[in-house]
C-alpha cells in the first residue's frame, strides 16, 4: 500500500502589529534630557538609545498632522467685527454746549429770553435707540415734553411715549432701514395727538425774494418756539424740529432730525439738542447755516428738507382711536394706513346693515378716497 501523505506544515504565526511609537502608555519619559527608563513595547527595543529631543520631535510631527486634519474639518472662521466708533469730534462750525464758548452763548440766550424751550426739552432729552430712529427719537421726546398721554402702557403701569409706539404711519422694520421723511414725521405727530405746521426750505436757485421770505418764516418759527412771549395762553407749548443734512454742517452722516432748544439773537445761533448723543453732543450753529442744511434734497423723495412746529393737540394720543378728525396731508408723501381706516370706519358708521349690499360700490369708492391700496394695510396699533 502507498505510504500516507505527510501532514501539512503548520502556518507561521502572524507577526505582532508594531506598537505606536508615540503611545503615552508604552513609554516612560523621565525629566532628564535622555530617555533612560525601560519601555514596555517590544517593538521599541531602540528606545533606550533614543534621545529625549528625538522623541519630542516625533511627537510634534504627529501632533501637527492631527491639527491639520482637524482644521480641514473645521468650518470657515467668522469674519472680523466691523469697525466701531466712540463718538465723533464736532467740526469748527459747531460749538459744543459744554464748551466755554457754548456756555457764553447759552448765557446770552438766557438773558435775551431765547431759552424757553430748553428746560422742558432737557427734562425729556433722550438718545435715539436705533441708528435710523432720529425722527422717532425726536418725536417721542417732544410728545413727552408736551405732556401728551399716549393712552398706552410703556412698561409696568406707566403710560409714556417710546419710539416703539410710533408705528402707525410706517412699519418699524422699514424705519430701521430707511428712517422717516419730513412728511412721515408730520403724519406720526398728528396721529399721536399733536398739531403740526411744517414747511420746506427753498432750493438755493429759487428767486431771491422767495428765499428771503422763506428765511423770514424760519426765523419766526425759531422765535415762536424758543423766545419768551409777553402774552401766551396758559398750557400752550410749541417746539421746533429741523430736518437737515449733516453734510452741510461738516458732520458725518446724511439726513437727520433733532429739536431746537434755544436761540441767541446776538450771535444769530440756535442750539441743536442732537438725539444721536452717542455721536454728537448738543451744539450751537448759525441760523443761516441751518437753513442751508435744510435746503439739501432728501434722496428718498427728491425734495428739500425743512422744519416742523409741533404743538399741543389732543389731550391724549389715544383719542385718535375713537374720534375722527381732519388731518392736513399736504406734506405726506403717502396716506397713513391708520388715517385711511379711520376715515373708512367713519363713513361705514353712517350705513345701516340692510343697506350694505346695495351700497357696495359706494363703499369701494370710499376705500379709494381713503387711500387706495394703502387702505387695505392693517395698521399696527
Residue numbers annotated as active site: 134, 256, 274
Collect all residues with Cβ–Cβ distance below 8 Å to 13 and sequence separation of at least 6.
Answer: none
Cell of 127: 438718545
Q: List the end-to-end C-alpha distance of the chain, in Å, as a whole number.
A: 114
Got the DSSP string for 95-158? Answer: EETTSHHHHHHHHHHHHTT--TTHHHHHHT----SSTT-HHHHHHHHHHHHTT-B-SS-SBTTB
Distance CA 111, CA 88 (A): 31
Pairing, β 306-312 against β 283-286 = unpaired
Distance CA 150, CA 127 (A): 19
Cell of 121: 426739552
Got the DSSP string for 269-306? Answer: EEEE--S-TTT---EEEEHHHHHHHHHSEETTTTEE-E
Distance CA 101, CA 351 (A): 65
At how many degrees (to 10) do helices 337-348 and 360-371 cross? 150
Which position has the grid cell 415762536?
A: 224
315 to 2, 36, 120, 261, 327: CA distances (angstroms): 128, 94, 18, 23, 16
Amino acid at each position: 500500500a502507498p505510504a500516507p501523505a505527510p501532514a501539512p506544515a503548520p502556518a507561521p504565526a502572524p507577526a505582532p502589529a508594531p506598537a505606536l511609537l508615540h503611545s503615552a502608555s508604552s513609554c516612560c519619559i523621565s525629566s532628564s534630557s535622555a530617555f533612560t527608563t525601560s519601555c514596555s513595547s517590544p517593538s521599541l527595543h531602540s528606545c533606550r538609545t533614543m534621545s529625549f529631543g528625538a522623541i519630542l520631535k516625533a511627537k510634534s510631527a504627529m501632533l501637527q498632522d492631527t491639527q491639520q486634519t482637524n482644521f480641514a474639518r473645521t468650518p470657515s472662521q467668522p469674519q472680523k467685527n466691523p469697525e466701531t466708533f466712540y463718538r465723533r469730534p464736532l467740526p469748527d462750525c459747531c460749538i459744543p454746549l459744554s464748551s466755554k464758548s457754548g456756555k457764553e452763548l447759552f448765557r446770552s440766550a438766557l438773558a435775551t429770553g431765547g431759552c424757553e424751550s430748553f428746560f422742558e426739552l432737557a427734562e425729556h432729552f433722550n438718545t435715539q435707540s436705533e441708528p435710523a430712529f432720529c425722527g422717532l427719537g425726536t418725536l417721542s421726546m417732544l410728545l413727552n415734553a408736551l405732556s401728551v398721554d399716549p393712552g398706552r402702557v410703556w412698561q409696568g403701569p406707566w403710560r409714556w411715549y417710546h419710539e416703539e409706539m410710533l408705528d402707525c404711519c410706517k412699519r418699524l422694520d422699514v424705519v430701521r432701514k430707511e428712517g422717516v421723511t419730513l412728511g412721515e414725521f408730520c403724519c406720526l405727530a398728528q396721529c399721536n395727538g399733536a398739531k403740526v405746521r411744517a414747511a420746506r426750505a427753498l432750493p438755493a436757485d429759487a428767486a431771491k425774494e422767495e428765499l428771503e421770505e422763506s428765511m423770514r418764516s424760519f426765523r419766526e418759527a425759531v422765535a415762536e418756539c424758543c423766545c419768551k412771549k409777553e402774552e401766551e395762553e396758559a398750557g400752550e407749548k410749541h417746539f421746533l424740529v429741523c430736518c437737515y443734512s449733516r453734510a452741510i454742517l461738516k458732520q458725518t452722516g446724511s439726513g437727520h432730525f433733532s429739536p431746537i432748544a434755544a436761540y441767541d439773537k446776538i450771535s444769530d445761533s440756535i442750539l441743536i439738542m442732537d438725539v444721536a448723543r452717542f455721536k454728537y453732543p448738543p451744539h450751537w450753529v448759525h441760523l443761516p447755516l441751518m437753513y442751508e442744511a435744510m435746503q439739501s434734497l432728501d434722496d428718498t423723495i427728491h425734495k428739500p428738507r425743512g422744519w416742523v412746529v409741533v404743538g399741543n393737540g389732543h389731550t391724549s394720543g389715544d383719542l385718535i382711536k375713537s374720534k375722527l378728525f381732519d388731518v392736513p396731508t399736504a406734506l405726506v408723501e403717502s396716506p397713513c394706513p391708520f388715517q385711511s381706516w379711520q376715515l373708512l370706519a367713519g363713513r361705514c358708521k353712517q350705513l345701516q346693515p340692510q343697506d350694505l349690499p346695495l351700497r357696495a360700490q359706494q363703499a369701494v369708492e370710499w376705500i379709494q378716497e381713503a387711500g387706495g391700496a394703502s387702505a387695505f394695510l392693517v395698521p399696527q396699533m
